[in-house]
Amino acid sequence: MGLPIEQLIKVRKDKLAALKQLGIDVNPPVYSKDQTVTAIKVIGKTANVAGRIRGYRLHGNLCFFDLQDESDQIQVMVSAKDIGEKTFGMIKLLDVGDFVGVSGMVFKTKAGEITIKSEAITFLSKALHPLPDTWFGLKDTEERFRKRYVDTLMNPQVKAVFDKRWATEKAIRQYLWDQGYNEVETPVLQNLYGGTNARPFTTHLNALDIDMYLRVAPELYLKRLIVGGYEKVFEIARNFRNEGLDLSHQPEFTMMEFYEAYADYHKIMDVTEGLIKFVAKNVNKSFQLKIGQYDVDLSGKWARITIDEALKKYLKIDWEKITDAEVKDILKKNKLKVPGVYTKNKALFTIFDHLVTDKLVEPTWVIDYPTDVSPLSKVHRSRPGRAERFEGYIGGREICDGWSEIVSPIEQRERFETEQKNLKAGDEEAQPLDEEFLEALSYGCPPLGGIGIGIDRLVMFLTNTWSIKEVIPFPLMRPRGK
């Protein structure tokens, strides 16, 4: 059985004190690292790298340790003969987890391992807390999320997911910049929330003694920018929704929304399809995705079907012919509940959402949703009671949601008023009536299309990881002991 953690920390503190006694600067302000480990893995090259010690083996006047930086790991060989007894005295005080800088020549050992033969070692930082011998034996999954910094050190697969997350945001920006979109910023702290059906976080601004809300979506402010003269805008936004936590939802999350003037929902689907393909190719180097148990190919033209066609294809439900009594019977049999004020259209959407979506395996756009469940979507140009709204599905899971936007302040007011009825009926996610947004629309807004894509969700698709906590570096956690 090993020493208690308190004793291990004391041993390291004693080593730190010994380093100081040797006259070593134990916290130097800078180190001139010119290379990465990956870059110097070429035989015969001079190396100047820095990183964390991940393995340490002392054999008399010879020491081997593994040095890890962000890019890779390499073995370092240190000989007392090469660096002198005083410096080698410092080597004896090193621990796994410490940071050092190394310069020397790269060679290959008899065992065939690429190694740096050290000519100089610079101490950079002492790790007082030892790293675990292995992270795989940790029983409490939540501890991984609480100590994510240890998780990423010990588990390369975890770090690989985050690497793909950063690459995803980079690829999104590159694609939209290339398409002529402007990246913009909108307020996180708002006088009135809106842009989606969600329950907000409320806070208080002491300076003005007023209640305010954290953003649930950037949509209404992005549309104000369109009114103000911009034609293509996007934002990668931190959003906050005071709702439940589950495998696919966190109260704080990241979403990308983009809007294009003079475009309808068909154009937005085209742009989004190109975006997702571009991101997949850049991040995964392939159009093939593994989603749950399904292998999905993104490369072809994605199917487009109406929500009516989806219900008919998968449940044999004829939207126009089914009676209200039959709809309620389906709800009852499947223990489904319609939020807010009941309507037949809302009920059919609920049935679709719970009983059809998991069957949409191949990349599919489902279009023409009821206006009852699309408060910000434009009324369909040829189908009364329908909105020009779409959702994208891959591998039986929703990946995005968008529509032709309402640009008429009169029509938008009618939608908001319907939302107020839902709010009074107990729908806590219904949107409030935003007079300032209606005033902005009254100045005139061009035809407009837009979409929202959850970054966390997109990364889940790209990594086949179906817990949102696994794709967020520091997910919200319940306080210890509660």
Together in a domain, 219 and 171:
yes
Together in a domain, 217 and 295:
yes
Q: CA–CA separation, 125 vs 49, rounded Å?
A: 15
Together in a domain, 109 and 235:
no
What integer pLDDT is reported at residue 138 of this predicted model?
53
Q: CA–CA separation, 416 vs 410, rounded Å?
A: 10
Residue 266 lies in a domain: yes
What residue type is assigned to position 430 of the chain? Answer: A
Residue 311 lies in a domain: no
Rg of the chain on CA atoms, in Å: 29
Torsion of the alpha carbons at 276, 278, 279 and 284, rounded to the nearest 10: 120
Residue 475 lies in a domain: no
What residue type is assigned to position 371 of the chain? Answer: T
Residues annotated within a binding site: 391, 398
CB 324 within 8 A of CB 309: no
What integer pLDDT is reported at residue 456 of this predicted model?
98
Which CATH number goes with the domain that contains 53? 2.40.50.140
What integer pLDDT is reported at residue 480 of this predicted model?
83
What integer pLDDT is reported at residue 369 of this predicted model?
96
Alpha helices in 59-126 (DSSP H): 80-83, 85-91
Q: CA–CA separation, 162 vs 349, rounded Å?
A: 35
Question: What is the phi-psi region of residue 181: left when phi exceeds 0, alpha when psi lies from -120 to 50, beta otherwise?
Answer: beta
What integer pLDDT is reported at residue 262 of this predicted model?
99
Given the structure tokens 């995705």, which residue do they identify? 289
What integer pLDDT is reported at residue 136 of this predicted model?
54
State which residues form the domain around 25: 5-125
Residues annotated within a binding site for Mg(2+): 391, 398
Q: CA–CA separation, 397 vs 400, rounded Å?
A: 9
What integer pLDDT is reported at residue 203 of this predicted model?
97
pLDDT along the chain (482 residues), means of 10: 86 97 96 93 87 96 96 96 90 97 95 95 97 65 90 93 98 99 98 88 98 96 98 98 93 98 98 99 98 96 98 96 96 93 94 98 98 88 96 97 95 87 78 93 98 97 97 93 74
Say how many Å lie between the first and final Cα of the chain, rounded.
31
- DSSP track, 416-441: HHHHHHHHHTT-TTPPPP-HHHHHHH
What integer pLDDT is reported at residue 134 of this predicted model?
66
Together in a domain, 25 and 112:
yes
> What is the token pair recorded at 131?
């790293």
Answer with the one of 109, 125, 141 that is the final residue of a domain. 125
Q: CA–CA separation, 393 vs 400, rounded Å?
A: 7
Domain count for the chain: 2
Which CATH number goes with the domain that contains 241? 3.30.930.10
What integer pLDDT is reported at residue 429 of this predicted model?
73
CB 305 within 8 A of CB 356: no
